[in-house]
Amino acid sequence: MKNEVFHHFLKEQKLYKILSRIAKYVSIFFLIVYLYLLFSSSYTASPLIVVINYLAILTSFSGIITFKYFEIPTLLLAVFTEGKSAEFFQLGLPERQLVWRKSGREDVLPPDPTPEFITMNLHLYDRYPWKRIGKIYSMGYLVVILTSIFYLTSVYLETGFQN
């Protein structure tokens, strides 16, 4: 059970790295398209440029949402709601210390921390529900991105981005 819990934490950290990398590549893609439109066509006042700018801004903002979503590992967030029965307390001391450091804490976790200690140090009592916000944002982001890409593709197929 302990190994499975820690494995879930490692999967969560891997997902964060993957999503951050994808966001970076999407931002770079929009930058390349933007620069192409800016320097190779007469569309500087076009709605296409505006759409690309908004997509780039939205994708950059997504990095903030992604960071907040993964800022505190799920194992530590569960301590707030589940108390001493949270899976975090089933981990060994080295694994607990690693999870603690992943939450942005450089101090050493006491060998036998209480749920109150974790809640107070991570300020979990006044934390926004970033897991829920992140899921809602992701759905909205996908709708906007897919709609915008459909629009840009249809304009490209009709006009080739030319007047």
The domain limits of the chain are: 1-159
pLDDT value for 156: 81
pTM of the model: 0.69
Residue 128: other Cβ atoms inside 10 A: 8
CA atoms within a 13 Å half-sphere pointing along the CA-CB vector of 38: 10
pLDDT value for 86: 92
Phi, psi of 145 (to 5 degrees): -65, -50
pLDDT value for 14: 92
pLDDT value for 161: 64
pLDDT value for 89: 93
Tell me which residues of the chain have a pLDDT lower than 50. Answer: none
pLDDT value for 135: 94
What is the Cα–Cα distance from 70 to 49, expressed in whole angstroms?
Answer: 32
The one-letter code for the residue type at 34 is Y
What is the Cα–Cα distance from 135 to 141, expressed in whole angstroms?
Answer: 10
Are the C-beta atoms of residues 12 and 73 closer than 8 Å to each other? yes
Which residues have a Cβ under 8 Å from the Cβ of 27 and sit 6 or more positions away? 56, 59, 60
pLDDT value for 131: 92
Distances (CA, A) of 46 to 24, 50, 151, 161: 25, 7, 13, 10
pLDDT value for 110: 87
